[in-house]
Amino acid sequence: MTERLTADDAGIARAAELLLAGGTVALPTETVYGLGADATRSNAVAAIFAAKNRPSFNPLIVHVPAREEAEALALFDDRARQLARAFWPGPLTLVLPRKAASGLSELVTAGLPSVALRVPSHPVATALLRRAGRPLAAPSANPSGRLSPTDAAHVIDGLDGRIDAVLDAGPTQRGVESTILGVFADGLHLLRPGGVPVEQIEAIAGPVQHSTGGQITAPGQLASHYAPGASLRLNATQPQEGELWLGFGPDAAAADLNLSPSGDLVEAAANLFAALHRLDARAAGGAIAVAPIPESGLGCAINDRLRRAAAPRS
Ligand code: TXA
Ligand code: MG
């Protein structure tokens, strides 16, 4: 059952309690309602993808109450700090190098070495982030492929029964998602146009490259999308000579690592990127065989990422 919570002290306290228990809670931001979960827990993050029925694991934006909390998760250079001072709190998301000791789930960044960070300006979002004391991953709170929700009724229409709670603070003000800006070594890149016009960013930080043509970047289109050094062979019911074997389910008891010995797709999704990183380090440029994953529920997203990781590279 999805709890309807009023955005008062009691409602915010209950929302924080559910989040700390690994639950999913839809929360208001100044742009759209986000579907939040503890960004440090892979199972909680996997539950976001399951609730949205998302067919691939896009990296998610991590929300924090202020720049101080953001600096614990990512490396800020002078450009990043200047942008944060100018536009936070507000609808600007910065993509920055993730700190090694950030504690963030690998699933939230889809295995990337970078992390997208945002400090929302909605007072209820700020209060909940402070109360929970954890960074929250939050994509828009709608089923995959549907419109982003700008009030709690939209959230209920799409996700009733699939999430733990919605924190109702009335309609959001902006209705368009945050601007996503990559702060990369070779300059600033507009990854998604949004609530902060690019002209305002350029006025403060200089020229911004529109390298993606203004389209939302799916992770498979990101230059830096996760590809292991090892080659991957999919749908492998057993390993061949010299291959490491990434298993799934009880039939793969002999695997080097098993995404979920019981065959649970939420658990498998939560383990996916960390498992690939670990086997990749052990394979040292060799090969990894991956057991078949059912093409249903979160299995679709797992297979999407595996196919991208296995695709030939230039
Ligand atoms: O306004 C918003 O930004 C809303 C509210 C809820 O805060 N959130 C939102 O989040 O739109 P989400 O998770 O749907 O945005 C995810 C997008 C990805 O599809 C990708 O384009 C970009 O953020 N992204 C996330 N992490 C990235 C990374 N490490 N590198 C490049 N792009 C990244
Ligand atoms: Mg969305």
Decide whether any atom of ligand 1 lies within 6 Å of the 192 Cβ: yes
CA pair distance 271, 60, nearest whole angstrom: 16
Decide whether any atom of ligand 1 lies within 6 Å of the 306 Cβ: no
Atom 1 of ligand 1: nearest residue by CA position: 177
CA pair distance 177, 139, nearest whole angstrom: 10
Decide whether any atom of ligand 1 lies within 6 Å of the 172 Cβ: no
The predicted structure's pLDDT at residue 146: 85
CB 261 within 8 A of CB 253: yes
Determine the atom of ligand 1 nearest the C-alpha atom of 141.
Answer: 6
Share of the chain above pLDDT 90, in %: 73
Question: Model confidence at 314, in pLDDT bands (50, 70, 90)?
Answer: low
> How close is the Cα of 116 to the center of ligand 1, in Å?
7
Choice from 33, 35, 58, 273 to test ligand 1 binding pocket (greatest atom count within 8 A of CB): 58
Decide whether any atom of ligand 1 lies within 6 Å of the 118 Cβ: yes
Model confidence over 67-100: pLDDT tens digits?
A: 999 999 999 999 999 999 999 999 999 999 999 9
Which residue did the predictor score with more confidence, 17 or 277? 17
Model confidence over 114-147: pLDDT tens digits?
A: 999 999 999 999 999 999 999 999 999 999 888 8
Q: How does strand 61-63 pair with strand 257-258?
A: unpaired
Decide whether any atom of ligand 1 lies within 6 Å of the 54 Cβ: no
CA pair distance 34, 62, nearest whole angstrom: 11
Determine the atom of ligand 1 nearest the C-alpha atom of 35.
Answer: 6
For 169, 263, 286, 307, the CA distances from 252, given in Å and listed in that order, are 47, 10, 20, 20
Model confidence over 143-176: pLDDT tens digits?
A: 988 888 989 999 999 999 999 999 999 999 877 8
Q: What mean pLDDT do residues 101-110 have? A: 95
Q: Is the pTM higher than 0.85?
A: yes
Atom 10 of ligand 1: nearest residue by CA position: 139
Choice from 25, 62, 93 to test ligand 1 binding pocket (greatest atom count within 8 A of CB): 93
Decide whether any atom of ligand 1 lies within 6 Å of the 177 Cβ: yes
Encoded tokens for 251: 């039939």
Task: Please give the distance of CA 304 from its chain centroid, rounded to a whole number.
Answer: 15
Model confidence over 190-231: pLDDT tens digits?
A: 998 888 888 899 999 999 998 654 333 444 444 334 578 899
Which ligand places an atom closest to the C-alpha of 144?
Answer: 2
Question: Model confidence at 296, in pLDDT bands (50, 70, 90)?
Answer: confident
CA pair distance 219, 225, nearest whole angstrom: 6
Which residue did the predictor score with more confidence, 227 or 279? 279
